[in-house]
Amino acid sequence: MNSVHPPETVRAYLAELRRALKGAPAGLISDALADTEDHLNNEIAHNPEIPESEILATVIDTYGTPQEIAEEYRDMEATIGGPFPKSEDVPERRYGFFNVVSDPRTYGALLYMLLSLVTGIFYFTWTVTGISLTIGFAILIIGIPFALLFIGSIRVLAHIEGRIVEGLLGVRMPRRLPPATQADETLWARIKDGLTDSRTWSSMFYFLLKLPLGIAYFVIAVTGLSVSLGVTAACLYSLFTNDAGHIHIDELPWLEHLLHTAPGLILFAFIGVLLFFFVLHIARGIGWLHGRIAEVLLVRL
């Protein structure tokens, strides 16, 4: 339903658009707000002699009301395919313990866990170094441009990380950078915008948090896969070659004896397979949880 009183300012228009998109993915809302803000600011910049309220009235007639724009973005989102099939495109099935192997999100999350150590080290190093140099250069003439450069790099890295999260974890993240500052805005105003933008600080916190999370994800993935696949492969090799002489467990002689028998090898091979599926469930759960963390800390609304 259209507003009784059409918005007369850009901020009011964006506020109505945000309300109209309530319940949509945060990444979609961010893109819609950024696109609309760019369009409205361009209209105002090209018509400086016309009052903002009159420009908004013209824009509503040609571009549409916030409710109409929200509906267009919802329809467009429904037609664009993401990295994973939408729930309505997937035939209904019963989820069980072993069905995790057919979920593409599982392997995306597993790959993300393996990459997190590298990205976590880079993000942490970049953020800590940037903050330290910004503080150190604050008393010098190069402090202001360096601060702007660092804030801009944080926004770019947050966007890149968002694309990785969407590509591997399937969480809808912004597909465009936030609107740039106005060309006629002073350096102090740009720094103020960057420092007062909560997403600047939440993105930095995300990058600092990514290192311990990346270490934990990498250890869980590598250890889980190594143990589960190693146990299964070793037991199958011993079973088919009838050679268990390489298995030595001095602390648990009964277990070593069990692993020198065919039933024992079959049992532990089955345990290894179960452990592998358990690791896949952990990976899928971590992928879902980290997607929520990234959505909260990286998406600018």
Task: Please give the pLDDT value at position 12.
Answer: 87
pLDDT, tens digit (0-9, with 9 covering 90-100), for 72-115: 888 888 777 666 655 445 444 555 777 888 888 999 999 999 99
Task: Please give the pLDDT value at position 141.
Answer: 82
Task: Please give the pLDDT value at position 117.
Answer: 95
Query: What average pLDDT does this structure show over 45-64?
Result: 82
Nearest of 255, 277, 298, 252 to residue 96 by alpha carbon: 277
Task: Please give the pLDDT value at position 175.
Answer: 85
Which residues are CB-neighbours of 191 under 8 A, at least 6 positions away?
Answer: 144, 147, 148, 151
pLDDT, tens digit (0-9, with 9 covering 90-100), for 176-232: 876 655 545 565 666 666 667 788 899 999 999 999 999 999 999 999 999 999 888
pLDDT, tens digit (0-9, with 9 covering 90-100), for 239-288: 777 765 556 565 656 566 666 677 777 888 888 899 999 999 999 999 99
Task: Please give the pLDDT value at position 213.
Answer: 97
Task: Please give the pLDDT value at position 188.
Answer: 64
Query: Does 158 have pLDDT greater than 90?
Result: yes
